[in-house]
Amino acid sequence: MSVVIVGGNECMVRQYKELCRAYDCSAKVYTNMNAGLRKMGCPDLLVLFTSTISHTMVRCALREAAGENVRVARCHTSSMAALKGILEEHAVRRENCPMARGKGD
């Protein structure tokens, strides 16, 4: 499953990608508006962290996903817990992965 994350914190890009990898997802992360966002392809899931991006960036991401049958998940916070919740809802998790299960499981 492919995931595109728009927004979030620059210092957490590696952690976002690791968590997605734990759910057997490949991830692209765009924290800033750049030309690459217009070529994000056709992911299975588009995650929008709305508190850390501009309205222009949200509209650009939604325009690129329009007509491509892409599931869109919007979240106001850009925490790891928020991303984990989105992935739990939309992806099949790996049972043997400690990052996917959480520390208390």
pTM for this one? Answer: 0.83
Q: What is the pLDDT of residue 74?
A: 94
H or E element that contains 6: strand 2-6
Token pair listed for 23: 């759910």
Q: What is the pLDDT of residue 26?
A: 93
Closest by CA position to 4, among listed 36, 47, 58:
47
Would you write out the chain's pLDDT as a tens digit for each of its 105 residues? 899 999 999 999 999 999 999 999 999 999 988 777 777 888 899 999 999 899 989 998 898 888 888 899 999 999 999 999 999 998 755 444 444 445 444
